[in-house]
């Protein structure tokens, strides 16, 4: 049998994460994992993916590709969505503009005016209004429909978002409007995107879905055309995969597509080291994402993208503009600032030799010797030390300080930004980080892991196998799944248990159809039921796993007391029903480290600020159980780990570097 025929008989799985600077690839070939990186192409992300697949010599017909996309994220953050028409009830055309009337600057009496999400001329009103009890307040007449049809033709949008009051109780009016929208227009209705209470949050989610949906659909179409025959899935913000043909209609659920892969990958890899309580640090070229994991990534329904709330389920993480490409500069008072502006992939840091002239964190790490000119990306990309010296030197002259002192300052400022983000995720939520393991990944994470663990008083850290491409690895470790929600208001004590069970099962049945169409076997689908509860009169809810009425009430009181320090004696109100469905994860196991031959020091380095020579190792040569004491430099293809003085690392059976702070 030829190798080509053999490959076609056993499809290969490829995880791809498109970042702001690099596009990462992890290929599962039998029991072996192969990693790869190429520079991202932000204007056309599919080009970098196609380039990487060519360089890996892969045949699309023999490929299952699971992809984390930033198309929806970038379009939303940069304000580059399509021309979208918003349809609401009469008197509510300015709903998205008014919002919750929350002020971002509480004590600023003259806040800067901001553009509304949808221009006033693209907000139109109609009938079809329901009351809170689901009864018709104002019908949707034939005249209303004719007027809508004429307005759509006159305004000539690329997409339409429909958000009528209480449509989650009865979606017939939204469906009537949807049917008159021309087929060539992308159309979203709130009763499909987010059938839950909260007209503003529901409206924003529906508008976002239409605003970026055509861009996502066009991107996936181009990617499919470039990879004929490939089986393509996309990571959702909740950490579950969805088939590409369905993802195009659910763009709002892809706003944290790539970062979600990192959390799935971190949980999967750390479990190999029997660690489940994690603080994660995903430091790439443009930004850093931090999150807390207790067994599995936490989900939130109170996430944000830019200035807008996103009430669909997404991984609970905190993102800051601090990455390897973050630009260092001086403010008007001569204070050193780092980020949030980034050099990105083009031109990139000065040391990339692609025209960048401003100093970045990557340039600083190169000058400190923690990045090696000839060892970046496994030697495929040579860094330009002279360009880094020129960029950082400009700041050094302005500050009248030595070059290495400025480089150290850049790294320290970046570290403080990231340490603050980690405190927001842990300490400010009542979690003691000293009881957790800091899991550091992304192309730049390993360079900062020891300093950040020290800053939070943590004594344990982990640099996973394939740390530089862990988000792409997470694409392979994820499961197909759906998160469904349906509002059902009522005082818990007055509800019937059988009615709740029936409603949850109906919601699960609706969601399972999508998974079955993706090829997931019915006997592989796992279903989890939960309720959003609150004390009567409260605005915010807590999510509690469903078992029975009596049990869920007890669990809510305990959770409220744990979260807020007290419980109340008032009635408990049900707000939303939630269902999470998951298919089976593809069979994947990390290759075990079997070598007993200790990896030798590749070279001894004279690094600024370090007493004596510092050893450099190649991570791929390290043996099972091999122990290294800092300071030391550990290189691999996609990242570098700086093991600081006072830290020791050991290679575990999965190839993870387990870092422990030495006592004394």
Q: What gap in Å lies between CA 131 and CA 165, rounded to an integer?
A: 8
Same domain for 90 and 197, yes or no, is yes
- Percent of residues in the chain assigned helix, strand, coil, to nearest 5: 35, 25, 35
- Which residue segment(s) compose the domain that 510 sits in? 479-582
Task: Count CB-CB contacts under 10 A for residue 139.
Answer: 11
Average pLDDT of the residues in 312-332: 86
In terms of domains, do 221 and 72 share one?
A: yes
Residue 423 included in any domain: no
Per-residue confidence (pLDDT) for residue 4, from 0 to 100? 41
Let me know how long the chain is.
664
Per-residue model confidence as pLDDT tens digits over 36-84:
888 888 888 899 999 999 999 888 877 889 998 878 887 887 788 999 9
* Helical H segments across 290-384, by residue range: 361-367
User: What is the 8-class DSSP label of residue 40?
Assistant: -
- Round the CA-based radius of gyration of the chain to a whole number and report it: 26
Helices (H) and strands (E) in the chain, counts: 17, 35
| CA separation, residue 600 to residues 279, 374, 488, 618 (Å) | 31, 19, 63, 8
596 domain-assigned: no
Task: Give the confidence band of 31 by pLDDT, cuts at 50, 70, 90.
Answer: low
**Does residue 376 register a pLDDT over 60?**
yes
Residue 148 located in a structural domain: yes
Residues near 549 by Cβ (< 8 Å), separated by ≥ 6?
A: 492, 493, 495, 497, 500
> 169 and 241, same structural domain?
no
Phi, psi (5° rounding) for residue 86? -105, 125
Biggest CA–CA distance in the chain, Å, is: 84
Better-predicted residue by pLDDT, 4 or 550: 550
Domain presence at residue 544: yes
Q: Tell me, yes or no, whether 632 and 567 share the same domain.
A: no
Residues 122 and 50 in one domain: no
Is pTM, for the whole model, over 0.85?
no
Residue 165 lies in a domain: yes
Please provide the DSSP assignment of 403-415 as one string. HHHHHHHHHHHHH
- Percent of the chain scoring above 90 in pLDDT: 48
Q: Quick check: helix, strand or coil at residue 633?
A: strand
- 37 located within any domain: yes
pLDDT given for residue 664 in this prediction:
57
pLDDT per position as a tens digit, 169-207: 999 999 999 999 999 999 999 999 999 888 999 999 999
Classified as helix, coil or strand, 231 is: strand
Instruction: Please state, rounded to an integer, the average pLDDT across all residues of the chain.
Output: 88
96 with 197, same domain?
Answer: yes
Domain boundary among 170, 202, 234: 202
Q: What is the dihedral of CA 464, 467, 472, 474, to 10 degrees?
A: 20
For the chain, the domain total comes to 4
Nearest-angstrom CA–CA distance, 93 and 151: 14
What 3-state class would DSSP assign to 44? coil
Q: Are 511 and 533 in the same domain?
A: yes
Residues 573 and 608 in one domain: no
Mean pLDDT computed over 590-598: 74
Shared domain check, 148 and 67: no
Closest CA to 225 of 369, 349, 60: 60
Note whether residue 518 is domain-resident: yes
Q: Does residue 641 have a pLDDT over 60?
A: yes
Per-residue pLDDT of 408-466, as tens digits, reads 999 999 999 999 999 999 998 888 999 999 999 888 899 999 999 999 999 999 999 88
Let me know whether 91 and 63 are in one domain. Answer: no
Q: Give the C-alpha separation, 55 to 71, whole Å.
A: 23
User: Do 193 and 238 have their domain in common?
Assistant: no
For residues 100 and 164, state if they share a domain. Answer: yes
Q: Are 433 and 458 in contact (CB under 8 A)?
A: yes
Asked if 405 contacts 411 with a C-beta cutoff of 8 angstroms, the reply is no
- Which of 97, 287, 358 is CA-nearest to residue 204? 97
User: What's the CATH number where 52 sits?
Assistant: 3.30.420.40
Q: Is residue 161 part of a domain?
A: yes
Last residue of a domain, one of 553, 582, 611: 582
Count of beta carbons in the 10 Å neighbourhood of residue 541: 18
SS3 465: coil
**Do 18 and 48 touch, CB atoms closer than 8 A?**
yes
């Amino acid at each position: 049998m030829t190798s080509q025929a053999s490959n076609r008989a056993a499809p290969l799985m490829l995880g791809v994460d498109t970042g702001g600077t690099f596009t990462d690839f992890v290929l599962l070939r039998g029991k072996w994992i192969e990693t790869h990186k190429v520079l991202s192409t932000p204007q056309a992300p599919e080009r970098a993916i196609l380039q990487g697949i060519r360089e890996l010599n892969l045949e699309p017909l023999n490929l299952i590709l699971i992809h984390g996309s930033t198309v929806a994220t970038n379009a939303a953050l940069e304000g580059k969505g399509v021309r979208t028409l918003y349809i609401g009830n009469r008197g509510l055309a300015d709903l998205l503009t008014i919002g919750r009337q929350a002020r971002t600057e509480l004590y600023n009496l003259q806040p800067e005016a901001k553009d509304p999400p949808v221009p006033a001329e693209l907000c139109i009103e109609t009938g079809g209004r329901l009351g809170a009890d689901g009864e018709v307040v104002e019908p949707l007449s034939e005249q209303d429909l004719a007027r809508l049809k004429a307005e759509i033709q006159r305004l000539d949008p690329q997409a339409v978002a429909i958000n009528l009051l209480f449509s989650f109780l009865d979606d017939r009016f939204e469906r009537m409007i949807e049917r008159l929208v021309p087929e060539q227009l992308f159309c979203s209705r709130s009763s499909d995107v987010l059938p839950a209470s909260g007209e503003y949050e529901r409206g924003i989610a529906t508008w976002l879905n239409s605003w970026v949906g055509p861009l996502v659909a066009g991107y996936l179409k181009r990617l499919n055309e470039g990879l004929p025959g490939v089986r393509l899935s996309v990571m959702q913000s909740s950490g579950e995969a969805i088939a590409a043909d369905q993802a195009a209609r659910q763009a709002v659920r892809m706003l944290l597509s790539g970062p979600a892969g990192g959390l799935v990958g971190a949980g999967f890899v750390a479990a190999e080291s029997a660690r489940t309580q994690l603080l994660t640090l995903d430091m790439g070229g443009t930004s850093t994402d931090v999150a807390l994991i207790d067994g599995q990534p936490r989900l939130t329904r109170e996430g944000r993208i830019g200035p807008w709330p996103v009430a669909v389920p997404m991984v609970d993480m905190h993102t800051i503009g601090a990455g390897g490409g973050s630009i260092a500069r001086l403010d008007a008072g001569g204070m050193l600032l780092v980020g949030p502006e980034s050099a990105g992939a083009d031109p990139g840091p000065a040391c990339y030799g692609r025209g960048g002239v401003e100093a970045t964190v990557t340039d600083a790490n190169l000058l400190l010797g923690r990045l090696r000119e000839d060892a970046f990306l496994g030697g495929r990309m040579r860094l330009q030390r002279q360009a880094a010296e020129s960029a950082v030197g400009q700041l050094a002259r302005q500050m009248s300080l030595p070059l290495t002192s400025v480089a150290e300052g850049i790294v320290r400022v970046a570290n403080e930004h990231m340490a603050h983000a980690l405190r927001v995720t842990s300490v400010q939520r009542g979690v003691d980080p000293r009881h957790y393991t800091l899991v550091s990944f992304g192309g730049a994470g390993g360079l900062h892991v020891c300093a950040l663990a020290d800053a939070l008083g943590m004594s344990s850290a982990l640099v996973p196998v394939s740390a530089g491409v862990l988000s792409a690895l997470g694409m392979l470790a994820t499961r197909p799944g759906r998160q469904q929600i349906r509002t059902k208001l009522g005082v818990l004590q007055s509800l019937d248990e059988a009615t709740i069970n029936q409603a949850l099962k109906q919601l699960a049945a609706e969601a399972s159809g999508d998974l079955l169409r993706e090829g997931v076997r019915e006997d592989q689908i796992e279903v989890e039921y939960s309720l959003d509860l609150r004390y009567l009169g409260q605005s915010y809810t807590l999510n509690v796993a469903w078992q029975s009425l009596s049990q869920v009430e007890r669990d809510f009181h305990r959770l409220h007391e744990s979260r807020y320090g007290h419980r109340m004696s008032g009635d408990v109100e049900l707000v939303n029903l939630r269902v999470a469905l998951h298919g089976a994860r593809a069979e994947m196991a990390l290759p075990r480290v079997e070598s007993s031959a200790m990896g030798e020091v590749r070279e001894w380095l004279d690094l600024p600020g370090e007493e004596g020579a510092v050893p450099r190792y190649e991570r791929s040569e390290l043996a099972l159980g091999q122990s290294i004491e800092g300071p030391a430099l550990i290189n691999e293809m996609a990242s570098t780990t700086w093991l600081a003085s006072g830290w020791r690392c050991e290679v575990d059976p999965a190839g993870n570097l387990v870092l422990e702070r030495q006592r004394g």
